[in-house]
Amino acid sequence: MQKVGFFRSIHLKFVLMYVLLILIAMQVIGIYFAQELEQTLKKNFEESIEDRVNLLEFSVREEMTRQRTGEDPSPEESLRAVLDGFSSDDILEVRIIDPKMRILATSEYENNELVNQLMVNELVRNSIQFGDSFDSISLNESQRRIWVLAKPIMSGDEVIGSIYAESNIEKVYGQINDINQILAGGTVFSLGITVILGILLAQTITRPIADMTKQASAMAKGNFARKVRVYGQDEIGDLAKAFNHLTTRLQEAQSSTESERRKLATVLSNMTDGVISTDRKGRIILINDTALDMLGVPREHVLNRPVPAVLGLEAEHTFEDFVDMQEPLTIDFSDEVRPYILRANFSVIQKETGFVNGLIVVLHDITEQEKIEMERREFVSNVSHELRTPLTSMRSYLEALADGAWKDEEIAPSFLHVTQTETERMIRLVTDLLQLSRMDSREYELNTDIVDFVKFFHRIIDRFELMKSKDVQFIRQIPPGPLYTELDMDKMTQVIDNIISNALKYSPDGGNVRFTVLPEDDHIKIAVSDEGMGIPEANVKRIFERFYRADKARSRAMGGTGLGLAIAKEMIQAHGGHIWAESEEGKGTTIFFTLPFEVEEAGEWD
């Protein structure tokens, strides 16, 4: 553990805190005392001046309202005589102003030339106008503070003049400064004593704390054997006892935690679902191997990274969105090569106070589930469409017949023929669906027998060659010798019929249909090729899907259900073979399929 320097120690912090508390307390007291003292001294000074001005106002009012005779002095001389007897160290100058703002008298001989001149002063004007006293503090020419008072001279309810008085209030502020200096000196002396006492007091607290710090450092290194020394029976002693008890409990908890950690690691490593754990800021702190495989990233690239960025959702969602998310979130990692869809479930880790402490993300691979669900929806949609089309057509013709078309000998047979054709088409569709359903549920059995596939294949081709309505040439590339295989003749006949029917449908007049049989190591490879319009490369693999048609309009017009190749695929796979297609637009399509073939047993079969 790194040693703490003196300037960062709790010892110094305790002393500084102690000193600062005393300093703040003394400052608060000093500020309050200084403000109250200033207010009191100013108030006493102002009241003293106001009392003397009130006495002067009485004398001035008597002189200004007195009836004068010819032998009496002028009002200016009388007022001057009154002001001569009004002198003081505090009052600098007093002026008497009449209601017209003309100076009648002044106590300063130096300003006698101002008598009978107008006085421009806002306080005097307000006192005469409103009949009330007004005062303010300002600086004179010597930069000393003076208190200016303007008091109206009242005769009954009439204002007959104003007294303007300037007082030296600088003495009051001087007294305040002297008192503040005394208070500051006392504060410095008190702080000196406080520092000494704080150092002595801090030592009694920091010594046991330093000892416990050393013991805590030893515990952090895994040493739980040592105990903390108990210095006394006070709060510090109780803390030392609690520390020793904590050491014992930590040792027990560490053993239990280590055991649980190993169990959790075993569970996470063997889970089939991906698990991600984050801290309260959404950064990943734990991820199991399954989640790494699902995301395709190494562990060092995801730890301490935000979970939205790792899941590729930083543009759409934030960590706060995941915390509030109640429903699972589907994440699509599909590309052009393969579909890949994950479902993420979010669970919030909360403390008892409700504070979010992290998030658990559980990842499920639902690629196959989504694929099956999509195929189910598409299958239902296709069945609905395939049934709706003939039903709509039948309803139209039946309505026409019901409206009287049955009486028309030319139209009625045609309408009935269309209705019969559409009915047969729906019967074929339902039959094919039932057959596919039985195959999906494995509710069918193959009645197999050992068959010479060459003769079997020639027999089916001969039948189509007699029945064909187009000018199409059949080209057979089939070996002469027998090729024996085990198959269900009825079901394999249905498969080959579907393949040859499609080849004839899409072959143009004058074209060729080629039949090829090629024995290989452990199977027979059969191919049926046409010279029709072909299938786009992107759709070749889809022709074995249910209800898929390369040319929907033409297939429906020819009565196809779109299930023939899907049934053929199921049948071939049931026989242990494989079926696929190759096509080039404008040049035709070839359907390939294989069947198991054992060369060694051919002689015995023959």
Judge whether 513 and 527 are in contact, CB under 8 Å.
Answer: no
Q: Which residues contact 241 (CB under 8 A, 6 or more apart)?
A: 230
Q: What's the rounded Cα separation, in Å, for the pair 25 and 234? A: 28
**Tokens read off for 505:** 């449908």
C-alpha 26 chain-centroid distance: 51
User: Which helix (DSSP H) or strand (DSSP E) does residue 488 occupy?
Assistant: none
> Would you call 468 helix, strand, or coil by DSSP?
coil
pLDDT, residue 590, reads: 92
pLDDT exceeds 70 at position 255: yes
User: Which helix (DSSP H) or strand (DSSP E) does residue 167 occupy?
Assistant: strand 158-168
- Identify which has the larger pLDDT, 548 or 20: 20
Q: What's the rounded Cα separation, in Å, for the pair 141 and 144? A: 7
Q: Candidates 3.30.110.30, 3.40.50.300, 3.30.450.20, 1.10.645.10; correct CATH number of 12-175?
A: 3.30.450.20
Q: Which residues contact 263 (CB under 8 A, 6 or more apart)?
A: none
Judge whether 486 and 563 are in contact, CB under 8 Å.
Answer: no
Q: Candidates 1.10.510.10, 3.30.565.10, 3.30.559.10, 2.160.20.10; correct CATH number of 449-605?
A: 3.30.565.10
pTM: 0.40
Q: What's the rounded Cα separation, in Å, for the pair 588 and 305? A: 54
Judge whether 37 and 178 are in contact, CB under 8 Å.
Answer: no
pLDDT digits (tens, 9 = 90+) for 424-435: 777 766 776 666
**Tokens read off for 13:** 């912090």
> Would you call 162 helix, strand, or coil by DSSP?
strand
Sketch the domain layout of the chain as residue ranges: 12-175, 273-365, 371-440, 449-605
Specify the CATH architecture of the domain 371-440: Orthogonal Bundle (1.10)
Using the 8-state DSSP alphabet, how is residue 543 labeled?
G
Residues linked to residue 356 through DSSP beta bridges, in sequence order = 350
The HSE-up count of residue 69 (CA atoms within 13 Å, CB side) is 1
pLDDT digits (tens, 9 = 90+) for 479-526: 988 889 998 888 888 889 889 988 888 888 888 999 999 998 889 999
The fourth-level CATH superfamily of domain 273-365 is: PAS domain (3.30.450.20)
pLDDT digits (tens, 9 = 90+) for 268-325: 777 778 898 898 888 998 888 888 888 888 888 888 899 888 888 888 888 888 888 8
Q: What's the rounded Cα separation, in Å, for the pair 495 and 456? A: 13
449-605 and 371-440 share a CATH fold: no
pLDDT digits (tens, 9 = 90+) for 58-86: 888 887 877 666 666 676 777 877 777 66
Phi-psi region of 34 (alpha: psi -120 to 50; beta: other; left: phi over 0): alpha
Phi, psi of 551 (to 5 degrees): -130, 95
Q: Which residues contact 297 (CB under 8 A, 6 or more apart)?
A: 310
**Tokens read off for 287:** 């991820």
Query: For the chain, what is the mean pLDDT?
Result: 80
pLDDT, residue 565, reads: 81
Interval 449-463 mean pLDDT: 91
What is the share, in percent, of the chain residues with pLDDT greater than 90? Answer: 7
What is the share, in percent, of the chain residues with pLDDT greater than 70? Answer: 84
pLDDT exceeds 80 at position 227: no
The runs of H, that is alpha helices, within 270-349 are 289-295, 307-310, 319-324
pLDDT, residue 379, reads: 66
pLDDT, residue 488, reads: 87
pLDDT exceeds 60 at position 552: no
Most confident of the following: 4-13, 223-232, 398-407: 398-407
**Tokens read off for 517:** 């049989």
pLDDT exceeds 80 at position 197: no
